[in-house]
Amino acid sequence: MMISEKDNNLSQRVLETAGLSKKILLDRYDRTVREIVRERTLYWDIDDLVRETRYSKASLEKYIVCDPRIKIHQRQIGPRYKRVWLSEPTAAALEEILNN
């Protein structure tokens, strides 16, 4: 089924009238995809924490990762292995730390 240009323009006007631009719709779509991906991720590493918070690794190490609310969710097999954090409880702790 072909969508005519007239129908496309009408759809675009309806969306603009509702206050929805292409940028807003794409932002909502991206946010939804990120939330779905986050729900399916069991662990975060330091790079995931950087992506979630937009802080540098050095800032995360200095201010966030050392916080006891984050440290309790940290997992590491041994001293030479990569550190990871449980994603869901760490996300909740990050929100608490960053919003207070």
Residue 27 CA to residue 39 CA, distance in Å, equals 18
The DSSP letter of residue 67 is S
Residue 1 CA to residue 10 CA, distance in Å, equals 17
Q: pLDDT for 15-67, tens place per residue?
A: 788 787 778 888 888 888 878 776 678 899 999 999 989 999 999 999 999 99
Q: pLDDT for 7-17, tens place per residue?
A: 677 777 877 88
Return the amino acid letter for 58. A
The SS3 of residue 43 is: strand
Q: What is the pTM of this model?
A: 0.60
